[in-house]
Structure 1
Amino acid sequence: MTIDKTFDPAAIEARWYPHWEQGGLFRPARDNAEPFTIVIPPPNVTGSLHIGHALDNTLQDVLIRHARLKGKDALWVVGTDHAGIATQMVVERQMALHQQKRTDFTRDEFVEKVWAWKEESGGTITGQLRRLGASCDWANERFTMDAGFSKAVIKVFVELYNQKLLYRDKRLVNWDPGLKTAISDLEVETKEIQGKFWHFSYPLADGSGTISVATTRPETMLADMAVAVNPEDDRYKSLIGKMVKLPITGRLIPIVADEHADPELGSGAVKITPGHDFNDFEVGKRAGIKAGDMLNMLDAEANVIQTADGLIPADLLGLERFEARKRVVALIDEAGLLEKVEDRVIQTPYGDRSGVVIEPWLTDQWYVDAATLAKPAIEAVRSGAIKVVPESWTKTYYNWLDNIQPWCVSRQLWWGHQIPAWYGDDGKCYVAEDEAGAQALAGDSVALTRDSDVLDTWFSSALWPFGTLGWPDAEKPLPAKGGVGEGQSAEKSGGIAQTSTPLPDGPTPPPPPLAGRGSKLARHYPNDVLISGFDILFFWDARMIMQGLHFMKEVPFKTLYLHGLVRAADGSKMSKSKGNTVDPLGLIDRFGADALRFTLTAMESQGRDIKLDEKRVEGYRNFATKLWNAARFAQSNGIGASATLEPPVADLPVNRWIIAETVKTVQALDLAIADLRYDESANIIYQFAWSRFCDWYLELIKPSFASGEGADECRAVAGWVLDQILVMLHPFMPFITEELWHALGDRPNDIIVARWPMADARALDPAAAEEIDWLIRLVNEVRTARTGLNVPPGAKLKAHVRDASALTSARLERQAAAIARLARIELAEGDATGGGAAQIVVDEATFVLPLEGVIDLDAERARLAKGIAAAEKERDALAGRLGNPSFVERAKPEAVAKAREDHAEKSLEAERLAAALARLA
């Protein structure tokens, strides 16, 4: 087919993605091939593609397409998360449009409505991932609420309970009064709010005086249970153990010693409300207050209720918490105990979905003993069984797991995995996989009521690496016992660890494995690599490691790659309120999916956030257009698909050079991908395709097509190299490469399942490489000199050569035509005469280019000197600014960064102009 003059990404994308998916090409049958497995971080079923998704999934697709081209049994497990809170909110909002509430229906009726919504509207993001080009195994798409996965979730809950690693307890949680459920830390958004700092006097019970405390939440004093002072604070040592009589309630509470009290903050004395503050909860426990005895003064909607001791005055009961705050402050003031009120910026937690202030609330919830599960997870990373990239994140990982708290896994919702626990009228709790099992445990005489809560979605998604592969129906046989390194190795190739090493047994062994060595689970667990944002390292990645080790006795993945955030071009965090968010679908509409994918890959540098500039996307769209035009040029000159994977036989130095350059590119690209150096891998193929192939090789072989000399060899080599470029570029730019692959000739298969190029060192030719590299350096130096000295583009210059070696002289003779055409110079005999010439040194030879009559030499010297002075002046002014600590420390980070960029730019400009002036003899 003839390649169109205009490159139209939209038309190409619409054609090829359905072709790949319908042909089953994302998961070709390769049962005997080496497996390579990635699981997608399951996006919320309510979600839409944002730029973070685009980055995360592009990075995964690069690896999976590369593995597929390498001939591996590449599996990219795909699916969505049921997103308990988000999905329930969506459905309830829709119901509200019809004046309906969730409570108008039974639980089962409501859940049916959610399933109906999921079937009709829950696939938005999966369609958007297809637009990005994500080559997932859609034929086996999973959902965290599907029957098989739900079975795994329930089994894990029951097993952890029976192993005493999951239990019910009364503790503080992040309580969302708007949604009336506990939420995770990830669902809490902290905002800076202008608030107050109230200072109260609490009278000592013996009448000997008062003690001053300060608080940002005065209403919680209704449930105070202690006042804490630092044990080393001399002001209060004599008061430790004395009692305080609380204003309003009259409750007697002790003054306790605890290091939580900071002598430098406020008065140094802190009111302790263990039922409504996370720090106070720990202080209360250290003071000997049991969780069951901690006072609760709020209901699920954050209205004041009576505490267990019945001391809150009746006129405060039922008040909304912020109304209660006003009333408490007024009562304290009336009692003459309000010392002062300060304005203060308060770090206030909000529910990211409800938008209401989160309340630390004491309630009964289900918890996982995360500290026990964390121990093998720590060892997995320390031993090298899991390689974390970048390694700098391991310190954060260890710190969190070393100090991990019990994990609250229950949520007060209707949509989700309902907790498999039943409460008997005998006062006991029975946990089983179904009601029949619970009834068998309780006995027929006991009436059972099921726990109404559901499981946190992070609990179910923690099972993703093995629950999606058929566990527990097709369990994987346990590996041999023994610690990491015991009789096995943990070899790594770059960033992707190559190991199947088991870890030491967990605290309690899992159930005996079933048969199933040939199952998908046995073949694809552990996964090879997990790619995720660093922001879910604890919420998802670490929990997958804990659950995978506990139930599978092997790490869930061998390599964990943590990428940064995508930020605005100025480095600021994207947010809707700032109006600086980027819609990836909008970028795809304008520039094409390939351009966006290549941008994200090229800018992904380990350990750094991405400053996304639309100009970069436009630039890589230009790269795609350059490749498109190169293919059109090739096609118009009879260059087509190569018949072999091996390079053609070549005699011409330029062809031997480009073959060697291709092999070196394959070698470098393989290493960069193995090391997960995304930016480096993109740059390698970009530089080779744009500079080496398009700018130099095609230019160097053009005369062959005109003269016919060596044309057949050039066509064969050019076709082979172009094929290698398309295959190497395919993981990054799948659509344009597939289109050009077929446009250049009849193929036995699609490029998505083609063979990756061979990095055959036998194809390297040092002599040819040195000659063509010399030619390119010479042409570049001449072009730079011409541009710097304002030589008219059409002017042909004479060139006199001094001190040339025999090797250089031979090269000049062989490459004379190319030099004349590309550098627009003619080699002349003898030495240059007259004044005014540019001098260029390449290796041992000096090339003298007379300029008399070509340019005004005096005017050019004056222009360059003026330009140097101006550039140096700006450079020095910027250097002075950057050397001023006041500017660097006080200016906005983006202003400092801009000054550094400008300083570097002016420094280079001064050097460039100085070099041009120096070339004039």
Structure 2
Amino acid sequence: MTELPKTFDPADIESRWYAHWEEKGLFRPDRPDATPFTIVNPPPNVTGSLHIGHALDNTLQDIVIRYERLRGKDALWVVGTDHAGIATQMVVERQLNAKQQKRTDFTREQFVEKVWEWKEESGGTITRQLRRLGCSMDWANERFTMDEGFSKAVIKTFVELHKRGLLYRDKRLVNWDPHFRSAISDLEVETVETKGGFWRFRYPLADGVTLADGSDHIVVATTRPETMLADMAIAVHPDDERYRSVIGKEILQPITGRRFKIVADEHADPALGTGAVKITPGHDFNDFDVGKRAGFKAGEMLNMFDADANVVQTTDGLIPDRFLGLHRFKKDGVDGAREAVVAEMKALGFLVPHVTKNKEGEEVSADFEPRTIQTPFGDRSNVVIEPWLTDQWYVDAEKLAVAPMQAVREGAIEIVPKTWEKTFFNWMENIQPWCVSRQLWWGHQIPAWFDEDGNSYVAESEAEAQALAGNKKLTRDPDVLDTWFSSALWPFGTLGWPEQSEKLSRHYPNDLLISGFDILFFWDARMAMQGMEFMGQVPWKKLYLHGLVRAADGQKMSKSKGNVVDPLGLIDKFGADALRFFMAAMESQGRDVKMDEKRVEGYRNFATKLWNAARFLQSNGVTASTTHEAPHATLPVNRWIIAETVATVQAIDTAMTELRFDAAANAIYHFVWDQFCDWYIELTKGAMDDETKAVAGWAFDQILVMLHPFMPFITEELWHLTGKRANELIVAQWPQALAAVDTDAQAEIDWLIRLVSAIRTARTELNVPPGAKLPMVVRDAAEATQRRLDRQGVALARLGRVESLTFGEPPAGGAAQIVVDEATFILPLEGVIDIAAEKTRLAKALAAAEKERDGLGGRLSNPSFVEKAKPEAVVKAREDHAEKTAEAERLKAALERLG
């Protein structure tokens, strides 16, 4: 047995043990006859680096997989990365730009080759960082969404969905990113508040038609005046009396001269703006729906932008040539379509100015009303997203959503916390077609070919497509698939599907998925759809959704706010074990985690406490236990720690079954810190006989096993430093909560702890010198208490600094009185402290605490303060009130003890 170093150094042990585990294949020990337990990691982007959200998500997964591995399961944690279409293409293009090159300087094949080169050289950052966190993943079978086998699964899925009528090509609006010249998913759109405007314009009614008030025009309001070049209707509410007489009549767009109808649609809000809305179905999602209700087919809807968001001619040819080629916004100092449209409408007299009054009461006119606009931006390109009408491939998500919803209703999929079920059903019941095509070069190229007439042929290979097309010349669709399409196959594609294998049948469905709630729809729901469609079973039996990691003040972390926390920096400072334990202890179902570096530091101190406990045991001749079962014990203190160990195992097992990570972490924390380190070690100091050494060694071994899922590095290190072991801790045996619980011993030691704690509290509150030993007089003690005092007298004398123990009445004079159960324990204080002075001090402190308590109570009972003060001020006042209330109660009790 190696002597433990005096100090615990996380950095020294972490890399050493991780490399050892991985080299020996201990993340996936050979257990073909064991019960399988399978989880898959949400595949991080191959371009990514570890952020605090990854740290939470993967810590929780690692706790589960280490726990199940210790329980003897054939535990498989599937690991891999996502090819991250846009993100990866952007990284490689940026490298090319630095060399004065661009993507289009190369063929598609040449560019993809450069991406693969980048992936081999630089694409492993995130996986190296997951190792630093301690993630015990099956690295020997690491997957990548562009692997040959996985790509085969993706292609087969596309073709099969098409054959089944669940995938089709359609013209619809998409989120278009003009920078990448590609459709993007909702997840890649970030809504940002921007300064914008609300313009009002007159549109003249056609054919001499007037409103009921005699007006020959309708005023429309818009935040996007440039899109009027593609207007196709004006919508008014069917019950709006102002416009009811002109519904179905025609109106003119002044610049293009286009005639279109006034339609009735409840989308138009009479109370918003003028109540009349210009409808541009090719450039607004709401307008698209209004256009469909008005009878426009998607192919008839006007599109006025090209892929770069420059103005192009619409199919009716009515946009004046002077607008063609203009960018939608002002660019490089040159006015765009927005500025040109506003200027022309103003020159034609159709702009309705926004009139306000200045400080002097004079009317001031402006072209628009300033507004704060919720504007969609591409999260990577940082350009405004354009709703754009284009042909794309879509999955019939509505049909695929039926089976997962039924699975959740029947309990085949359990969502934890259950509160997320309502959100799940609300989205699934209103699900829209899923756009799965992207206009990129990096990704799974869509297995579809077009003939010269635009007909498409979907097949797994070009030869199969050609057989379908006959002699027609074919061209392959240049688009690639959305990365969410491929990652939706993760639970079974990573296990070798479409090939049927023992591994696939053994590990599908997965047992559990741990995921952030923010990808419930983008990933989790789609895995459920694809898994049930192609495997006929749910992808996982249980779905655990955790919250976000927020800044200490509760704000969402962002680079712009400067409140992003680097998990690797925390690991460097406090060790991976401390960060992991923080994540587990703070993960309470349904709540976000507030980052608190002090708490992380506190768990580093917890690790040090464990280390020092091991040093104490070693110095007292305690070594590794030779038995998995609890040793035979006769002493109450040993029977007590055995019972507490069993209770902790039971608490952790219950918490892990319920996925209460905080409860599991807190159970082992309080057992280690309070019961074992603070009390068991204190109670056995100077009394380390053979029985106690055996029990202490056994209990400490159980601690290392129970704590291992949360703090794998320090526990593995101590496992080997405290004795000779047959195997590594990572593959040890989980404690069995089978030992008989000795309730008598538990009650006796709990009584002793309460008594010693009360004595220590009284001594501190009454300013008794720390070194002073006091006599104790016991009154009204039952026979059982007297027997306990006989057995625990030595421990009581040492821990409570009790000089002598007698039964009966105390001598006259001031004394501290402590009541525990039926007995009163009296500590005479004459000559030890100045009792009169102490009473005066306590009374003065009590009055001050009560004054502060009552003052805070008055503020909190004032509705004006609670309603108008900042929330953090109210929280602080409540915390201070609780603190002062507790302080007053302690001082009052201390004063009463003196009699």
Q: TM-score range by the shorter chain?
A: over 0.9
Shift of 1:912: 2.5
Name the counterpart of 1:350. 377
Distance change (3 Å), C-alpha of 1:290 and 1:69: same
Post-superposition Cα deviations, 1:574-613, rounded to whole Å, max 9, x if no partner, equal: 1111111110000000100000000000000000001111
Deviations 1:690-741 (A, max 9, x none): 1101101111111213xxxxx0001000000000000000000000000000
Of all paired residues, the percent bearing the same amino acid is 74
* 2:779/2:807 contact within 8 Å kept: no
Structure-to-structure mapping, 1:183-262, within 5 angstroms: 183-207=184-208, 208=210, 209-262=216-269
Structure 1 residue aligned with 2:579 = 596
Match of 2:300 among 287, 290, 293: 293
Tell me the alpha carbon deviations over residues 372-419 of structure 1, each in whole angstroms, 9 at most, x when there is no partner: 001111111111111111111110000000000000000000000000
Q: 1:364 to 1:42 in 2, by over 3 A?
A: same
Match of 2:161 in 1: 160
Whether 1:670 aligns to 2:648 is: no
Pairing 1:326-725 to 2, within 5 Å after superposition:
326-339=339-352, 340=354, 341-443=368-470, 445-474=471-500, 516=501, 519-705=502-688, 711-725=689-703
The amino acid that maps onto 2:311 is V
C-alpha deviation, 1:887, in angstroms: 4.3
Contiguous gaps of at least 5 residues in structure 2: 211-215, 330-335, 355-367
Q: Deviation string for 1:432-480 (max 9, x for gaps)?
A: 011111111111x111100000000000000000000010012xxxxxx
For the structure 1 residues 250 and 882, does the alpha-carbon distance in structure 2 shift closer, same or farther, using more than 3 Å as the test? farther
Q: C-alpha distance in 1, partners of 2:152/2:60?
A: 31
Q: Which residue number corresponds to residue 47 of structure 2?
A: 46
Report which stretch shifted further, 43-52 or 910-919.
910-919
Q: Deviations over 1:764-791 (max 9, x none)?
A: 1011111111000111111111222222
CA distance in 1, matches of 2:64, 2:887: 40
User: 1:792, CA displacement in angstroms?
Assistant: 2.0
Q: Deviations over 1:68-113 (max 9, x none)?
A: 0000000000000000000000000001111110000000000000
Aligned partners of 1:343 and 1:886: how far apart in 2? 34
Which residue is equivalent to 2:120? 119
Look up the SS of the partner of 1:746 in the other structure.
Answer: coil
Q: Is the Cα contact below 8 Å between 1:426 and 1:446 reproduced in 2? A: no
Match of 1:100 in 2: 101
Secondary structure of 2:19's counterpart equals helix
Q: Residues 202 and 371 (structure 1 numbering): CA distance in 2 closer, same or farther, change over 3 Å?
A: same
**8 Å contact 2:449–2:458 — kept in the other structure?**
yes
**What is the CA–CA distance in structure 1 between the aligned matches of 2:101 and 2:644, rounded to whole Å?**
68
Superposition deviation, residue 824 in structure 1: 1.2
Q: Does 1:784 align with 2:811?
A: no
2:225 counterpart letter in structure 1 = P
Aligned-residue offset at 1:884: 4.3
In the alignment, the residues of structure 1 paired with residue 849 and residue 186 of structure 2 have an alpha-carbon distance, to the nearest angstrom, of 52
Distance in 1 between residues matched to 2:101 and 2:894, nearest whole Å: 77
Question: What amino acid does structure 2 have at the position aligned with 1:468?
Answer: T
Report the secondary structure of 2:401's partner residue.
helix
Secondary structure (helix, strand or coil) at the match of 2:610 reads: helix
* Pairing 1:822–2:849 present: no
Question: 1:22 & 1:139 partners in 2: Cα distance?
Answer: 10
Structure 2 CA distance for partners of 1:920 and 1:32, relative to 1, 3 Å: same
CA distance in 1, matches of 2:692, 2:403: 59
Of residues 312, 316, 337, the one that matches 1:324 is 337
**Counterpart secondary structure, 1:704:** coil
Task: Provide the C-alpha distance between the structure 1 equivalents of 2:560 and 2:726, rounded to a whole number of angstroms.
Answer: 52
**SS of equivalent to 1:639:** coil
> Does residue 905 of structure 1 match 2:888?
no
- Match of residue 705, structure 2, among 720, 727, 736: 727
1:823/1:103 Cα in 2 relative to 1: closer, same or farther (>3 Å)? same
Of residues 911-920 and 189-198 in structure 1, the stretch that sits farther from structure 2 once superposed is 911-920
Shift of 1:332: 1.5
Change (3 A) 1:312 1:556: same
Give secondary structure in 1 for the equivalent of 2:441.
Answer: coil
Query: Structure 2 CA distance, aligned partners of 1:439 and 1:276?
Result: 36
Structure 1 residue ranges without an equivalent (≥5): 475-515, 706-710
Relative to 1, partners in 2 of residues 1:263 and 1:31: Cα closer, same or farther, differing over 3 Å?
Answer: same
Tell me if structure 2 keeps the 8 A contact 1:168–1:364.
yes
Q: d(CA) in 2 for partners of 1:871 and 1:152? A: 70
1:537 is displaced (CA, Å) by 0.3
Could you tell which deviates more after superposition, 827-836 or 793-802? 827-836
What is the deviation of 1:310? 1.0
Q: Deviations over 1:344-381 (max 9, x none)?
A: 11101110000101111111111000000011111111
Q: How does 1:269-288 map to 2 (within 5 A)?
A: 269-288=276-295
- The reply on whether 1:11 has 2:12 as its aligned counterpart is yes
Tell me, yes or no, if the aligned pair for 2:548 and 2:593 is still in contact at 8 Å: yes
The residue number in structure 2 matching 1:484 is none
Specify the code of the residue in structure 1 equivalent to 2:636. Answer: P
* Aligned-pair Cα RMSD in Å: 1.2
| Whole-Å separation in 2 of the counterparts to 1:713 and 1:674 | 34
Structure 1 segments, 4+ long, off by >6 Å, are none
Q: Is the 8 A contact 1:605 1:677 kept in 2?
A: yes
Give the whole-Å Cα distance in 2 for the aligned partners of 1:915 and 1:239: 83
Partner amino acid, structure 2, of 1:827? L
Map of 1:480 onto structure 2: none
Q: Distance in 2 between matches of 1:334 and 1:911?
A: 79
**TM superposition score normalised by structure 2:** 0.96
Report if aligned partners of 1:306, 1:317 keep a CA contact under 8 Å in 2: yes
Maintained 8 Å contact 1:529/1:559: yes
1:890, CA displacement in angstroms?
4.5
TM-score, normalised on structure 1? 0.93
Per the alignment, residue 359 of structure 2 pairs with none
Count of aligned positions: 871
Alpha-carbon separation, structure 1, partners of 2:855 and 2:271: 44
Structure 2 residue 314 is the aligned partner of structure 1 residue 307:
yes
Aligned partner of residue 496 in structure 2, secondary structure:
coil
Residues 1:911 and 1:232: Cα distance change in structure 2 (over 3 Å): farther
Q: How far does residue 426 in structure 1 lie from its aligned partner after superposition?
A: 4.3
CA distance in 2, matches of 1:877, 1:153: 67
Q: Give the secondary-structure state (helix, strand or coil) at the position aligned to 1:311.
A: coil
Quick one: distance in 1 between partners of 2:246 and 2:867?
Answer: 44
Q: How many angstroms does 1:257 deviate by?
A: 1.0
8 Å contact 2:191–2:376 — kept in the other structure? yes
Instruction: Give, in angstroms, the shift of residue 205 of structure 1.
Output: 1.1
CA deviation profile, 1:663-713 (whole Å, cap 9, x unmatched): 1111111000110000000000000011101101111111213xxxxx000
1:914 aligns with 2:889: no
The code of the aligned residue for 1:771 comes to E
**Partners of 1:228 and 1:255 within 8 A in 2:** yes
